[in-house]
Amino acid sequence: MQRVTLKDKTFVPYITADKIAESVRLMAQKINTDLASDMPLFLVVLNGSFMFAADLLKEVTIPCEISFIKLASYHGTSSTGTVTEMIGLTEEIKGRTIVVVEDIVDTGVTLEKLMTLLIKKEVKQVKVASFLLKPEAYTKAMVVDYVGMEIPNEFVVGYGLDYDGLGRNMKEIYVLEKK
C-alpha cells in the first residue's frame, strides 16, 4: 500500500484488505446467527456500500433477499427544509426484517432519515450493518447493530468510500494525511 493522491488531497494507508476481510467475516457470522429465521431483506445503500455489501453477502449464508437503494435529498417547497427520498425500492417491505447495509456512519444524520422512511413503511424491525462507525462524530441514539470497525473522526477513502467521487475502487482504506 502506498500513499495516494486524489485531486488536491493525499491519503496514507490505514486499513489493509486482510483486516477488512476479517472484520467482514466476523460480522457475517453474527448476522448468520442472529437472523437465521428472519428471512431478512438486506437494503444496500448505494453508492458507497457496494464493495462492502458484496463481500458481506458472500459470507451471509442464511436465507435472505438483497435490494439496492439510493437516497436523494431535495428542498421541499414547505418549511420542512430538506426532504430525503428513497429511490429504487420495489419490494413490499411491510412486516419484514430489514438490514440496512452502509459503508460508514458518521454523524448518523443520513441513517436517521432512512430509518424514518423505513418505519413509515411499517417494517417489522430494522437492523443496521455499517462497515465503519465514527463514534466521536455520531450524534444519534439509534443503535448500529453491526459495526465492522470503529475509527476516529478522520476522513477515509477506499473500499467504496470516495473523496469527491474518487477512490471508491481501492481495496484498502486510506486516511487523509496529516500535514
Catalytic positions:
106
Segment 31-50, which members bind Mg ion (CB under 5 A)? Answer: 48
Distance (Å, whole) CA 164 – CA 168: 10
Helix (H, G, I), strand (E, B) or coil at 44: strand
Complex with Mg ion: residue 38 or 69, whichever CB lies closer = 69
> Is 158 a binder of Mg ion (CB under 5 A)?
no
Distance (Å, whole) CA 33 – CA 4: 38
Cβ of 160: how many Cβ atoms within 10 Å? 26
> Is 158 a binder of ligand IMP (CB under 6 A)?
no
Selection from ligand IMP, Mg ion, none that 44 binds (CB < 5 to 8 A by kind) is none
Stretch binding ligand IMP (CB under 6 A), from 7-15, 27-35, 83-91, 99-107: 99-107
> Is 161 a binder of ligand IMP (CB under 6 A)?
yes
Widest pairwise Cα distance in the chain? 50
Q: What is the 3-state secondary structure (H, E, C) of 98-130?
A: EEEEEEEECCCHHHHHHHHHHHHCCCCEEEEEE
> Is 106 a binder of ligand IMP (CB under 6 A)?
yes
Selection from Mg ion, ligand IMP, none that 105 binds (CB < 5 to 8 A by kind) is ligand IMP
> Contact residues for ligand IMP (CB under 6 A)?
48, 104-111, 155-157, 161
